[in-house]
A = this chain, B = another copy of it.
């Protein structure tokens, strides 16, 4: 599917065919494209938890105020981030480059995040936001629809997926075969209200 077409057609769909099964190959295609999304310092701080088991999807729906797109979707991807990825064996992010520039990058990386919890959290949200959009348009181009979600019980979902202490959940994306088109857009702001030339 054409890129601009996929962007235009992507909508937050709320009704999916619960009987549809996504294949492992399709899941792999989505994840392989998600991880091509950029991250600052190539830190690759996102972690993706995939769920296709119906009983877990039902549980996640309960933890999302009963929203049925969660139980009906073929795949749920819970986007998480490792807040401490900056200090865990960082040379792996640039293993293909020479030692000298690699060491400079490691020093700069650690200066950016050490003792800076807000920076670590911002990076989690930013990286996962970029990856989430990649997931949604990848899925769209494969004939799937999606819904990005942040309205759920983060603590309980964290328990369910055994979230490590130094990780956070940033959002979820559900993926499935639409049985009903999304409602028309609710109210787009005029482009002149949200874009500015040179300054506000």
User: Which residues of A approach B to under 8 Å, CB–CB?
Assistant: 1-8, 10, 12, 28-29, 31-33, 35-38, 40, 42, 44, 46-51, 53, 56, 92-97, 112, 118, 121-122, 125-134, 136-138, 140-141, 148, 150-151, 160-164, 167, 170-171, 183-189, 191, 194-200
Q: Which residues of B contact A170 (CB under 8 A)?
A: 122, 126
Shortest distance in angstroms between A39's beta carbon and chain B's nearest beta carbon?
9
Shortest distance in angstroms between A141's beta carbon and chain B's nearest beta carbon?
4
Q: Which residues of B contact A36 (CB under 8 A)?
A: 7-8, 10
Q: Which residues of B contact A53 (CB under 8 A)?
A: 198
Q: Which of A6, A161, A198 has the most CB of B within 10 A?
A: A198
A-B contact pairs, 5 of them (CB 8 A): A4-B138, A38-B133, A56-B198, A121-B122, A130-B148
B38, A195: Cβ atoms closer than 8 Å: no
Q: Residue of B at shortest CB range from A119?
A: B150
B195, A48: Cβ atoms closer than 8 Å: yes
Partner of A186, one of B31, B32, B95, B140: B95
Q: Which residues of B contact A121 (CB under 8 A)?
A: 118, 122
A50, B195: Cβ atoms closer than 8 Å: yes
Shortest distance in angstroms between A103's beta carbon and chain B's nearest beta carbon?
13
Q: Which of A29, A161, A184, A188 has the most CB of B within 10 A?
A: A188
